[in-house]
Amino acid sequence: MKTRKLGDSDLVVSEIGFGAMGMSFDYGSVPDPSKMRKVLQEMVELGENFIDTAEVYGPYVNEELIADALVPYKKDLIIATKGGIKMVNGKQVVDGRSIELEKSVEGSLKRLKLEAIDLYYLHRVDPNVPIEEVAFLMQKLIKAGKIKHWGLSEANAKTIRKAHAIQPLTAVESEYSLWTREPEQELLPTLEELGIGFVPFSPLGKGFLTGKIDLSTKFSDGDGRNLLPRFQKEAMEANIKLVDLIKLVAKRKQATSAQISLAWLLAQKPWIVPIPGSTKIDRIRENISASEVVFSKSELEQLTAAADEIQIVGNRYTPELAKRAGL
Protein backbone atom coordinates (compact mmCIF):
# COMPACT_ATOMS: atom_id res chain seq x y z
CA MET A 1 0.00 0.00 0.00
CA LYS A 2 1.13 3.58 -0.64
CA THR A 3 2.52 5.49 2.32
CA ARG A 4 2.52 9.08 3.48
CA LYS A 5 4.67 11.09 5.87
CA LEU A 6 2.87 13.00 8.59
CA GLY A 7 4.05 16.56 8.11
CA ASP A 8 7.75 17.24 8.58
CA SER A 9 8.16 14.35 10.99
CA ASP A 10 9.85 11.02 10.21
CA LEU A 11 6.61 9.12 10.86
CA VAL A 12 5.60 7.26 7.67
CA VAL A 13 2.26 5.46 7.66
CA SER A 14 -0.09 3.72 5.25
CA GLU A 15 -1.91 6.23 3.05
CA ILE A 16 -5.21 5.18 4.59
CA GLY A 17 -5.27 4.38 8.28
CA PHE A 18 -7.83 2.57 10.39
CA GLY A 19 -10.04 3.98 13.14
CA ALA A 20 -10.68 1.09 15.53
CA MET A 21 -13.23 2.78 17.82
CA GLY A 22 -16.30 1.09 16.34
CA MET A 23 -14.93 -2.34 17.16
CA SER A 24 -15.57 -1.69 20.86
CA PHE A 25 -17.56 1.50 21.28
CA ASP A 26 -20.28 3.99 20.25
CA TYR A 27 -22.13 2.16 17.46
CA GLY A 28 -24.68 0.14 19.41
CA SER A 29 -24.02 -3.49 20.27
CA VAL A 30 -20.33 -4.35 20.59
CA PRO A 31 -19.11 -6.79 17.92
CA ASP A 32 -17.72 -10.21 18.84
CA PRO A 33 -14.04 -9.60 19.79
CA SER A 34 -12.93 -12.88 18.17
CA LYS A 35 -14.40 -11.75 14.85
CA MET A 36 -12.80 -8.34 15.21
CA ARG A 37 -9.39 -9.94 15.81
CA LYS A 38 -9.71 -11.77 12.51
CA VAL A 39 -10.77 -8.58 10.70
CA LEU A 40 -7.78 -6.70 12.13
CA GLN A 41 -5.39 -9.41 11.04
CA GLU A 42 -6.80 -9.53 7.50
CA MET A 43 -6.61 -5.74 7.33
CA VAL A 44 -2.90 -5.71 8.17
CA GLU A 45 -2.32 -8.46 5.61
CA LEU A 46 -3.82 -6.07 3.04
CA GLY A 47 -1.13 -3.52 3.85
CA GLU A 48 -2.79 -1.13 6.30
CA ASN A 49 -0.42 -0.42 9.18
CA PHE A 50 -1.65 2.81 10.85
CA ILE A 51 -4.16 2.01 13.58
CA ASP A 52 -5.95 4.55 15.75
CA THR A 53 -7.36 3.70 19.18
CA ALA A 54 -7.83 5.39 22.58
CA GLU A 55 -7.87 4.59 26.26
CA VAL A 56 -11.54 5.56 26.55
CA TYR A 57 -12.75 3.30 23.71
CA GLY A 58 -14.55 0.57 25.61
CA PRO A 59 -13.10 1.91 27.88
CA TYR A 60 -9.73 0.15 27.78
CA VAL A 61 -10.82 -2.93 25.82
CA ASN A 62 -10.12 -1.47 22.36
CA GLU A 63 -6.41 -1.16 23.09
CA GLU A 64 -6.37 -4.73 24.44
CA LEU A 65 -8.19 -6.02 21.35
CA ILE A 66 -5.60 -4.46 19.06
CA ALA A 67 -2.70 -5.81 21.10
CA ASP A 68 -4.09 -9.35 21.21
CA ALA A 69 -5.02 -9.44 17.52
CA LEU A 70 -1.84 -7.98 16.14
CA VAL A 71 0.93 -9.63 18.15
CA PRO A 72 2.42 -11.30 15.03
CA TYR A 73 2.56 -7.96 13.20
CA LYS A 74 3.64 -5.64 16.02
CA LYS A 75 6.99 -4.61 14.51
CA ASP A 76 5.30 -3.52 11.27
CA LEU A 77 2.57 -1.36 12.81
CA ILE A 78 2.18 2.30 13.74
CA ILE A 79 -0.16 2.51 16.72
CA ALA A 80 -1.77 5.80 17.75
CA THR A 81 -3.67 6.08 21.00
CA LYS A 82 -5.05 8.87 23.14
CA GLY A 83 -5.47 10.01 26.73
CA GLY A 84 -7.10 12.94 28.46
CA ILE A 85 -10.65 11.64 28.76
CA LYS A 86 -11.51 9.45 31.74
CA MET A 87 -14.67 7.75 32.93
CA VAL A 88 -16.33 9.19 36.05
CA ASN A 89 -19.59 7.60 37.20
CA GLY A 90 -20.16 6.20 33.73
CA LYS A 91 -19.60 9.53 31.98
CA GLN A 92 -16.66 10.81 29.98
CA VAL A 93 -14.80 13.69 31.62
CA VAL A 94 -11.95 15.67 30.06
CA ASP A 95 -8.87 15.62 32.32
CA GLY A 96 -5.57 16.82 30.89
CA ARG A 97 -3.61 17.09 34.13
CA SER A 98 -0.07 15.75 33.94
CA ILE A 99 -0.56 13.29 36.77
CA GLU A 100 -3.53 11.74 34.97
CA LEU A 101 -1.89 11.73 31.54
CA GLU A 102 1.18 9.95 32.91
CA LYS A 103 -1.09 7.26 34.37
CA SER A 104 -2.88 6.99 31.04
CA VAL A 105 0.35 6.55 29.10
CA GLU A 106 1.49 3.79 31.45
CA GLY A 107 -1.88 2.09 31.17
CA SER A 108 -1.87 2.26 27.38
CA LEU A 109 1.66 0.87 27.20
CA LYS A 110 0.59 -2.08 29.31
CA ARG A 111 -2.64 -2.76 27.42
CA LEU A 112 -1.01 -2.37 23.99
CA LYS A 113 2.00 -4.44 25.12
CA LEU A 114 4.40 -1.85 23.76
CA GLU A 115 7.68 -0.43 24.96
CA ALA A 116 6.87 2.91 23.35
CA ILE A 117 3.72 4.40 21.79
CA ASP A 118 4.27 5.52 18.20
CA LEU A 119 1.85 8.47 18.34
CA TYR A 120 0.12 9.72 21.48
CA TYR A 121 -2.67 12.28 21.27
CA LEU A 122 -4.22 14.50 23.86
CA HIS A 123 -7.78 13.32 23.18
CA ARG A 124 -9.40 16.63 24.05
CA VAL A 125 -7.92 19.92 25.22
CA ASP A 126 -8.68 20.53 28.90
CA PRO A 127 -9.63 24.21 29.36
CA ASN A 128 -8.44 23.99 32.97
CA VAL A 129 -4.89 22.91 32.05
CA PRO A 130 -2.52 25.17 30.07
CA ILE A 131 -1.54 23.43 26.85
CA GLU A 132 2.06 24.37 27.61
CA GLU A 133 1.93 22.04 30.63
CA VAL A 134 0.81 19.18 28.41
CA ALA A 135 3.52 19.94 25.83
CA PHE A 136 6.26 19.88 28.46
CA LEU A 137 4.94 16.56 29.74
CA MET A 138 4.97 15.10 26.22
CA GLN A 139 8.53 16.36 25.80
CA LYS A 140 9.45 14.55 29.00
CA LEU A 141 7.73 11.33 27.85
CA ILE A 142 9.51 11.46 24.47
CA LYS A 143 12.89 11.89 26.16
CA ALA A 144 12.06 8.99 28.47
CA GLY A 145 11.22 6.77 25.48
CA LYS A 146 7.60 6.26 26.52
CA ILE A 147 6.19 7.83 23.34
CA LYS A 148 7.82 8.58 19.98
CA HIS A 149 5.53 11.31 18.64
CA TRP A 150 2.64 13.33 19.98
CA GLY A 151 -0.42 15.10 18.69
CA LEU A 152 -3.64 16.88 19.54
CA SER A 153 -7.24 15.98 18.80
CA GLU A 154 -9.88 18.66 18.18
CA ALA A 155 -7.57 21.59 18.89
CA ASN A 156 -7.77 25.09 17.45
CA ALA A 157 -4.94 26.91 15.68
CA LYS A 158 -3.95 29.01 18.70
CA THR A 159 -3.59 25.94 20.91
CA ILE A 160 -1.65 24.10 18.22
CA ARG A 161 0.84 26.96 17.89
CA LYS A 162 1.43 27.14 21.64
CA ALA A 163 1.98 23.39 21.94
CA HIS A 164 4.15 23.10 18.84
CA ALA A 165 6.48 25.85 20.03
CA ILE A 166 7.44 23.71 23.03
CA GLN A 167 7.45 20.20 21.59
CA PRO A 168 6.81 19.85 17.84
CA LEU A 169 3.57 18.10 17.01
CA THR A 170 3.56 15.25 14.52
CA ALA A 171 -0.18 15.19 13.85
CA VAL A 172 -3.52 16.76 14.65
CA GLU A 173 -6.79 14.85 14.51
CA SER A 174 -10.16 16.37 13.73
CA GLU A 175 -13.23 15.58 11.71
CA TYR A 176 -12.87 16.41 8.02
CA SER A 177 -14.83 15.19 5.02
CA LEU A 178 -17.00 16.40 2.17
CA TRP A 179 -19.67 17.34 4.72
CA THR A 180 -17.33 18.74 7.41
CA ARG A 181 -15.24 21.44 5.76
CA GLU A 182 -14.45 23.73 8.69
CA PRO A 183 -10.77 22.65 8.90
CA GLU A 184 -10.15 24.39 5.57
CA GLN A 185 -10.69 27.80 7.14
CA GLU A 186 -7.84 27.96 9.65
CA LEU A 187 -6.69 24.49 10.70
CA LEU A 188 -5.24 23.24 7.41
CA PRO A 189 -3.31 26.45 6.65
CA THR A 190 -1.84 26.34 10.17
CA LEU A 191 -0.77 22.71 9.85
CA GLU A 192 0.79 23.34 6.46
CA GLU A 193 2.73 26.34 7.79
CA LEU A 194 4.04 24.40 10.79
CA GLY A 195 4.70 21.10 9.01
CA ILE A 196 2.21 19.05 11.01
CA GLY A 197 0.33 16.06 9.58
CA PHE A 198 -3.47 15.88 9.58
CA VAL A 199 -5.46 12.76 10.45
CA PRO A 200 -9.18 13.19 9.65
CA PHE A 201 -11.51 11.00 11.65
CA SER A 202 -15.04 10.23 10.44
CA PRO A 203 -13.88 10.78 6.85
CA LEU A 204 -17.03 9.01 5.64
CA GLY A 205 -19.36 11.11 7.78
CA LYS A 206 -19.97 8.27 10.25
CA GLY A 207 -21.20 6.19 7.34
CA PHE A 208 -23.50 8.78 5.80
CA LEU A 209 -21.29 9.54 2.81
CA THR A 210 -21.08 5.89 1.80
CA GLY A 211 -24.66 6.03 0.51
CA LYS A 212 -25.61 3.07 2.69
CA ILE A 213 -27.72 5.25 5.02
CA ASP A 214 -31.00 6.79 3.92
CA LEU A 215 -34.09 8.35 5.49
CA SER A 216 -35.48 4.93 6.41
CA THR A 217 -32.36 3.83 8.31
CA LYS A 218 -32.91 2.98 11.97
CA PHE A 219 -29.85 2.94 14.20
CA SER A 220 -29.70 0.44 17.05
CA ASP A 221 -30.03 1.42 20.70
CA GLY A 222 -26.75 2.79 21.99
CA ASP A 223 -25.63 4.01 18.58
CA GLY A 224 -24.29 7.54 19.10
CA ARG A 225 -25.69 8.71 15.77
CA ASN A 226 -29.20 8.63 17.25
CA LEU A 227 -28.35 11.81 19.18
CA LEU A 228 -26.34 13.73 16.60
CA PRO A 229 -28.09 16.72 14.98
CA ARG A 230 -26.95 15.78 11.47
CA PHE A 231 -28.69 12.42 11.71
CA GLN A 232 -32.10 13.82 12.63
CA LYS A 233 -34.76 13.47 9.92
CA GLU A 234 -34.91 17.10 8.78
CA ALA A 235 -31.13 17.34 8.54
CA MET A 236 -30.80 14.07 6.65
CA GLU A 237 -33.46 15.18 4.17
CA ALA A 238 -31.29 18.19 3.33
CA ASN A 239 -27.91 16.46 3.52
CA ILE A 240 -28.91 13.60 1.23
CA LYS A 241 -28.15 16.01 -1.66
CA LEU A 242 -24.46 15.59 -0.93
CA VAL A 243 -24.81 11.81 -0.94
CA ASP A 244 -26.52 11.99 -4.33
CA LEU A 245 -23.67 14.12 -5.68
CA ILE A 246 -21.06 11.64 -4.48
CA LYS A 247 -23.01 8.74 -5.99
CA LEU A 248 -23.07 10.53 -9.35
CA VAL A 249 -19.31 11.06 -9.30
CA ALA A 250 -18.76 7.47 -8.17
CA LYS A 251 -20.72 6.19 -11.14
CA ARG A 252 -18.63 8.26 -13.54
CA LYS A 253 -15.38 7.08 -11.96
CA GLN A 254 -16.49 3.44 -11.66
CA ALA A 255 -15.88 3.58 -7.94
CA THR A 256 -17.98 3.49 -4.76
CA SER A 257 -19.20 6.49 -2.81
CA ALA A 258 -16.84 5.62 0.05
CA GLN A 259 -13.88 5.53 -2.33
CA ILE A 260 -14.79 8.89 -3.86
CA SER A 261 -15.11 10.46 -0.40
CA LEU A 262 -11.72 9.14 0.72
CA ALA A 263 -10.00 9.92 -2.57
CA TRP A 264 -11.23 13.51 -2.33
CA LEU A 265 -9.55 13.79 1.09
CA LEU A 266 -6.31 12.24 -0.14
CA ALA A 267 -6.26 14.75 -3.00
CA GLN A 268 -6.41 17.77 -0.68
CA LYS A 269 -2.86 17.56 0.76
CA PRO A 270 -0.08 14.95 0.65
CA TRP A 271 0.19 14.98 4.45
CA ILE A 272 -3.44 14.06 5.09
CA VAL A 273 -4.11 10.47 6.24
CA PRO A 274 -7.79 9.61 6.82
CA ILE A 275 -8.73 6.88 9.29
CA PRO A 276 -12.08 5.31 8.29
CA GLY A 277 -13.32 2.56 10.55
CA SER A 278 -15.35 -0.58 9.95
CA THR A 279 -16.10 -3.98 11.45
CA LYS A 280 -16.26 -5.70 8.05
CA ILE A 281 -13.23 -6.71 6.01
CA ASP A 282 -15.07 -6.10 2.71
CA ARG A 283 -15.60 -2.46 3.68
CA ILE A 284 -11.97 -2.14 4.77
CA ARG A 285 -10.83 -3.58 1.45
CA GLU A 286 -13.10 -1.09 -0.31
CA ASN A 287 -11.65 1.80 1.69
CA ILE A 288 -8.07 0.77 1.01
CA SER A 289 -8.80 0.73 -2.72
CA ALA A 290 -9.70 4.43 -2.54
CA SER A 291 -6.00 5.19 -2.95
CA GLU A 292 -6.32 3.88 -6.53
CA VAL A 293 -8.92 6.54 -7.42
CA VAL A 294 -7.24 9.51 -9.05
CA PHE A 295 -8.94 12.79 -9.92
CA SER A 296 -7.84 15.09 -12.69
CA LYS A 297 -7.50 18.71 -11.64
CA SER A 298 -10.81 19.59 -13.30
CA GLU A 299 -12.63 16.61 -11.77
CA LEU A 300 -11.47 17.60 -8.32
CA GLU A 301 -12.40 21.23 -8.81
CA GLN A 302 -15.85 20.29 -10.10
CA LEU A 303 -16.59 17.95 -7.19
CA THR A 304 -15.41 20.51 -4.65
CA ALA A 305 -17.39 23.32 -6.26
CA ALA A 306 -20.54 21.20 -6.41
CA ALA A 307 -20.16 20.22 -2.75
CA ASP A 308 -19.70 23.90 -1.87
CA GLU A 309 -23.16 24.62 -3.26
CA ILE A 310 -24.84 22.19 -0.86
CA GLN A 311 -25.78 23.65 2.52
CA ILE A 312 -25.09 21.04 5.20
CA VAL A 313 -27.78 21.06 7.90
CA GLY A 314 -27.16 20.18 11.55
CA ASN A 315 -24.16 20.40 13.85
CA ARG A 316 -21.76 17.48 13.91
CA TYR A 317 -21.92 17.25 17.72
CA THR A 318 -24.51 17.51 20.47
CA PRO A 319 -24.03 20.61 22.67
CA GLU A 320 -22.24 18.53 25.33
CA LEU A 321 -19.82 16.96 22.85
CA ALA A 322 -19.26 20.31 21.17
CA LYS A 323 -18.27 21.86 24.49
CA ARG A 324 -15.80 19.04 25.10
CA ALA A 325 -14.27 19.73 21.68
CA GLY A 326 -13.96 23.44 22.47
CA LEU A 327 -16.58 24.42 19.92
Tell me the catalytic residues. Answer: 57
Return the HEC string of the chain.
CCEEECCCCCCEEECCCEECHHHCCCECCCCCHHHHHHHHHHHHHCCCCEEECCCCCCCCHHHHHHHHHCHHHHHHCEEEEEECEEEECCEEEECCCHHHHHHHHHHHHHHHCCCCEEEEEECCCCCCCCHHHHHHHHHHHHHCCCEEEEEEECCCHHHHHHHHHHCCCCEEEEECECCECHHHCCHHHHHHHHCCEEEEECCCHHHHHHCCCCCCCCCCCCEHHHCCHHHCHHHHHHHHHHHHHHHHHHHHHCCCHHHHHHHHHHCCCCCECCCCCCCCHHHHHHHHHHHHCCCCHHHHHHHHHHHHCCCCCCCCCCHHHHHHCCC
